Structure 1
């Protein structure tokens, strides 16, 4: 069995594919190496002798420097390696692209929900949300009412356990009323948040753009919006944000302002009556065939491990390249996790203007982090480090593989909506939920989420497909993992083969044939990025 893998021909480190013992021999490309210290799978082994200050290369890019002498065959750790990445100032050239063979994909379709503006949804959601946190309680009340009376979802086993304890009987003796969903073609989802007031005006405007993006998302049929009345995020600010994204939006939106309506009971009664009628009409929309070029796929990673950049992320990269080749869209976010690969990315940008926008956003983001007393080099989490991602640049070089090799068509700041097909870069934090929240707000109708450690993230309006980097995780946490790329690590499938299998799976999810694990768990995470301060 292969014990080591070298990702790029220029690398001076290799990745351990299995746990290696001190003194064990491991061959790589005809050379035999002696392992000097116990090395866990996913960690890196020095392929040369490093002196203090020497550059460490992985994925063909600078990912760190030796902080002390590292002998050939020794494991890399946070004690002997420090973060370092190449400085980037401008676009220095153009990187060409050889598109993948799309003969099997060019005529593929999925069954989606067609909107009047030409977008196509992979889901059909009626969305409830507040403009300000003061309305969160009312949203929660509506959530309980609509979920119980419209969805009649199967009883949670933990709720059944509690009911059996209250009734002093066995769980088997507890029988739920046999009810079915009232509507088959519509889901009802609810968002709460802590914004809309109390911070700087820019935060409220940013939240307005994000919420407007959710309403415009092709997976959303319409929305119920609650406002208190006196908050920073006024209804007009939200309406202006909607017009900026889609001046001719025809989706039904019902809005209520509590301070204009009197009692909570009066407002909620009106909300329930009006929303029910709108939901009933939205239920009439049915799935119809659409070309896969109508897919907008968000690319995310969270709880990454040392295999993520070798199996799961490159698999997403193949999907991204296929989407670009057929005229579809991919969205790569998490700017802190692109630190160290900026030169390649700016040289893949369609124009110097796009390259400069990307560098400007990266530098402004990093400056804000430094001003707060931290830095991008603090990005790897304890879980990342434990599983072999010991520097930010090392983590970033693997994370960037999700974006494949295609040309970069557009650069989006947080809250901007996708208008260009092909690969888009979206400025978000590396935080999983803040990033997935932003991608749905920018129009993603499917999100692919790679993980090596296990992350339960989902989204209120966009199906999130969880892709594991290794089979052990897929087996251990099969309640949250949808797709396993472990066969790549074992040499059983190539990246292209695994990517094609994943794209088949995506089409089934987009068509409603398969529910993601996050959907089954009703995992609907929503965290806006708060860029400003509180006043």
Structure 2
């Protein structure tokens, strides 16, 4: 196994693939390197001497500048490197693309839920949500009622543990678990803290997001609760849904509390009407559909120094395979594309998409700077501890999730996918805000890489977790679905891992396998208020 990896021929730094001892001789690109001190795996060392202000290059792009002299073999840290990116104004070249070989995938299908508008779901969810936070309690009541009666969930081990503490003796009571009421439909519930207060634009943005969830192919229909007097009026929500899909034929049940009397009376009506709708949604069955109907969201969170050389490139290869099969991929987290704008701009299919991407990036960064921060503040303490010391370094690795295919479209937050191929979606780098937005944009499965471990999920879209290293997969097996660690050890190529991952995706999309986030009922939903969030 290699000890040092120089990723791109233009790089002047290398990644430690394992812990290195001070002064040991290590071959890197045919040249001996002597670390000036011990180096932890995932961290970077200089391949040449740097003077103050000299450019530091990784993945072939500028990721920082030396803030003090750095000796060849020295570890790069926040103390000797500062964030720096190249300035981008327009396309400088046209990027050609050679698609991967898709012969073995051409005639493959998965078992999906075909919707009347032509979209295909990987799940069949009946969704409950409020238009305003005032209805959160009623949503929680409905959640308890429907989950207990429809899903017949077994008492959790944690409740049994508490019960044993209360009684002072072990509690191993056998439970009679009835069969699930429905085979083909799930119930899921969203709560949030929006819909009133703040500014009117917040409610309008939330309306577009919720309309995107209703329109998501994984959703069969929905139950919507409104108080009546809030900023996010029923009409605003209906207008957003109509604008998104004027021919929407999904059942949308809307209940307004201020028009319905007591809470008890209202809940009984909601339960009755929703149950009748669920019976019809349960009649929808999976049928074979082509892989071109897959829409994958590409996400990373809790990244480490290996993410950009194992898990993220594996996702990039899957993205390229799917795009070549006329499917769709969505790359988000704009603060984590800082520093790789030129590559993405050059990959845009037209000047229109290139300009829109730069405009959204510049507007986002401007709002952050005006608030007294900056994209350079994006790396978390966990990122830095594991070797991602500048935002540009983190971004250069994060962008690998998008593969190498052309950028067909650029979407602002709250907009919905309309073109196949690779799409860029403006979101924060925050894991849940980003995955929330991708589901609202129509993704029917989300691929989520992590090097440190994160339990993020989504109420309507399966979130498949890919670890960048095998230690994480072994330490947190309850949240990791796929291990990309063999890439680091040289046991698998990026292509091999990507092909195995695509097979896993097909099984998840077909309902053959469930992802760990679904098993944990990890149903995260956080709308982005268009303020500062990195």
TM over 0.5: yes
CA distance in structure 2 between the aligned counterparts of 1:471 and 1:25, rounded to whole angstroms:
26
TM-score (norm 1): 0.99
User: 1:202–1:532: 8 Å Cα contact kept in structure 2?
Assistant: no
Q: CA deviation at 1:92?
A: 1.8
Matched, 1:55 2:27: no
Question: SS of the counterpart of 2:184?
Answer: coil
Q: In the TM superposition, what whole-angstrom CA distance separates every residue of 1:446-468 from its partner, at most 9, and x where no partner exists?
A: 00000000000000000000000
SS of aligned partner of 1:415: coil
In structure 1, distance between residues paired with 2:59 and 2:314:
15
Cα distance in 1, alignment partners of residues 188 and 424 from structure 2: 27
**Alpha-carbon contact 1:63-1:391 (below 8 Å) kept:** yes
Aligned position for 2:254: 255
Which residue does the alignment assign to 1:523? 522
| Rounded Cα–Cα distance in structure 2 between residues aligned with 1:519 and 1:469 | 21
Distance 1:258 1:108 in 2: 48
TM value normalised by structure 2: 0.99
Question: How far apart, CA to CA, are the structure 2 residues paired with 1:167 and 1:286?
Answer: 46
The answer to whether structure 1 residue 366 and structure 2 residue 378 are counterparts is no
**Per-residue CA distance 1:162-221 (angstroms, 9 max, x = gap):** 22334443132x222222211111110000000001011111010000000000000000
Q: How far apart are 1:155 and its partner, in Å?
A: 2.4
1:15 paired with 2:11, answer no
Structure 1 position 231 matched with structure 2 position 230: yes
Aligned length: 532
Shift, 1:376, TM fit: 0.1
Does 2:284 match 1:285?
Answer: yes
Partner residue in 2 for 1:273: 272
Shift of 1:156: 1.3
In structure 1, list runs of 5 or more residues that go unmatched: none
Q: Does 1:425 align with 2:424?
A: yes
CA distance in 1, matches of 2:224, 2:112: 25
SS of 1:194's partner is coil
Name 2:439's counterpart in structure 1.
440
CA RMSD in angstroms, aligned pairs only: 0.9
In 1, Cα distance between equivalents of 2:171 and 2:468: 37
The aligned counterpart of 1:328 is 327
Whether 2:455 is the aligned partner of 1:493: answer: no
Shift of 1:532: 4.9
Q: Following the alignment from structure 1 to structure 2, what is the Cα–Cα distance between the partners of residues 59 and 399?
A: 11
Q: Deviations over 1:44-89 (max 9, x none)?
A: 0100000100000000000000000100000000000000000001
Aligned to 1:93: 93
Structure 2: distance between partners of 1:431 and 1:267: 36
Match of 1:456 in 2: 455
- Does 1:137 pair with 2:137? yes
SS at match of 2:104: coil
Distance 1:47 1:315 in 2: 26
- Secondary structure at 1:473 match in 2: helix
Matched residue, 2:81:
81
Partner of 1:399: 398
Deviation, structure 1 residue 135 = 0.3
1:510 shift after superposition: 0.3
